[in-house]
């Protein structure tokens, strides 16, 4: 059974809770995807959650209603000038299921045009992906495994001769789509001058291409922190730029790697908030689907953080761990 969860400080669901956050004074824009169907309060006690009673399509679980209400009030009173949004990309901004099939990630959709290397990357996925979600592997050991996986995958992309044309073709033929309401959310945040940091262990160039092909527009308030490719003059991948980002080392110390979205011609259009000013925004809405995403706001001296998460079918593994982390923070 798959359901989605809302917690005041660690994890919640879809965009329903954002309704209260975005209802700033003088704001008349309330998108219909913020409608809330049902709320379950579990009062900091996971053992009291009767799993069979949960509606997998309409449920929001709030771990601490009082804390959530306090944070919503504080964020509303401070206004949009103090808010920033930090979001994972794969299975957070994008759908976990697309047309009845598992939605592809920014790594998973990529076809190099070289079947041998596509098969090698798939073999790495089949070996490492179960390890990523295994509760039996200590964090330190798992972090090393993720570094191995990402490093080997990036090496295969270079060795196999990936081109930017292959990226454009892969995105055009991919099974990837944004969750309902994401584009409207981006538009609302842009209107309110709220910066959005897309923080992904995927591939920055593919994320930009997905936005170009699926959204068909540029957002001046969005920056990306992800693994950046370097291409030669012929459009062939030759290296990766900056620190390797995998699922367990995401934190905003990597903010210096953040790059703004480019417009259709490859240039940067309009003013973009500098990193120093973003760090002055002390209210954070954090969106993710992995326990490692909780580190995306590390390095920020925030006053209020509401973290929104998507269990995406891993509730039996992640929910107890997430609530345990919550009680320690």
Tens of pLDDT along 53-102? Answer: 444 444 566 777 888 899 999 999 999 999 999 999 999 999 998 988 98
Query: Cα(62)–Cα(115) distance, rounded to whole angstroms?
Result: 46
Q: What DSSP designation does 34 have?
A: G
Tell me which fold the domain 60-263+279-327 belongs to.
Rossmann fold (3.40.50)
Check residues 85 and 19 and name the one with the higher pLDDT: 85
C-alpha 81 chain-centroid distance: 22
Query: Cα–Cα distance between 59 and 5 in angstroms, integer?
Result: 7
Is 90 annotated as catalytic? yes
Whole-angstrom distance, CA of residue 248 vs CA of residue 132: 9
Looking at residues 322-328, what average pLDDT do you find?
A: 51
What residue ranges in 214-303 does DSSP mark as E strands? 222-231, 237-241, 259-260, 283-288
Exposure pattern of 305-318 as b/e (b: 16+ CB <10 Å)?
bbbbbbbbbbbeeb
> Which of these is catalytic: 55, 64, 69, 88?
88
Q: Are 218 and 264 in contact (CB under 8 A)?
A: yes
- Tokens 């179960």 correspond to what residue? 130
Highest mean predicted confidence (pLDDT) among 178-182, 234-238, 248-252, 263-267: 234-238
Q: Which of 53, 64, 90, 274 is catalytic?
A: 90
Tokens 């689907």 found at:
289
First and final CA of the chain: distance in angstroms? 28
Confidence of residue 120 (pLDDT cuts 50, 70, 90): very high
Task: Write down the H helix ranges in the chain.
Answer: 18-22, 65-78, 115-132, 139-159, 164-172, 182-191, 204-214, 275-279, 315-328
Does 269 participate in catalysis according to the annotation?
no
Output the pLDDT for position 319. Answer: 56
Q: Residue 253 — pLDDT band, cuts 50, 70, 90?
A: low
Nearest to 150 by CA among 214, 244, 64: 244
Whole-structure pTM value: 0.76
Q: How far apart are CA 199 and CA 221, in angstroms?
A: 14
Q: What CA–CA distances, in Å, run from 275 to 79, 195, 279, 282?
A: 19, 10, 6, 13
Q: Distance between alpha carbon 104 and the CA centroid of its chain, in Å?
A: 14
């Amino acid at each position: 059974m798959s359901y989605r969860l809302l917690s005041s400080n660690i994890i919640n669901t879809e965009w329903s809770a954002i309704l209260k956050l975005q209802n700033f004074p003088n704001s008349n824009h309330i998108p219909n995807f913020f409608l809330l169907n049902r709320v379950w309060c579990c009062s900091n006690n996971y053992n009291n959650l009767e799993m069979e009673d949960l509606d997998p399509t309409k449920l929001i679980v709030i771990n601490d209603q009082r804390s959530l209400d306090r944070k919503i009030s504080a964020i509303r009173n401070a206004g949009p000038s103090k808010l920033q949004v930090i979001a994972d990309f794969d299975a957070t901004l994008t759908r976990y299921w697309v047309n009845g099939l598992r939605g592809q990630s920014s790594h998973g959709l990529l076809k190099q045009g070289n079947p041998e290397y596509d098969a090698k990357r798939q073999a790495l996925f089949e070996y490492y992906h179960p390890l990523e979600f295994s509760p039996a592997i200590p964090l330190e050991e798992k972090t090393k495994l993720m570094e191995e996986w990402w490093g080997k995958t990036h090496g295969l992309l270079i060795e196999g001769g990936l081109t930017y044309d292959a990226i454009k073709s892969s995105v055009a033929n991919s099974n990837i789509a944004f969750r309902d309401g994401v584009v409207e959310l981006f538009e609302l945040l842009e209107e309110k001058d709220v910066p959005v940091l897309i923080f992904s262990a995927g591939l920055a160039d593919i994320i930009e291409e997905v936005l170009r092909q699926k959204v068909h527009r540029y957002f001046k308030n969005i920056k990306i922190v992800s693994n950046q490719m370097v291409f030669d003059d012929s459009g062939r991948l030759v290296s990766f730029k900056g620190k390797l980002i995998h699922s367990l080392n995401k934190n905003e110390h990597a903010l210096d790697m953040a790059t703004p979205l480019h417009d259709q011609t490859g240039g940067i259009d309009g003013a973009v908030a500098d990193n120093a000013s973003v760090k002055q925004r002390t209210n954070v809405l954090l969106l993710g689907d992995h326990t490692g995403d909780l580190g995306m706001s590390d390095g920020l001296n925030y006053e209020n953080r509401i973290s929104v998460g998507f269990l995406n079918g891993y509730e039996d593994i992640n929910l107890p761990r997430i609530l345990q982390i919550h009680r320690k923070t």
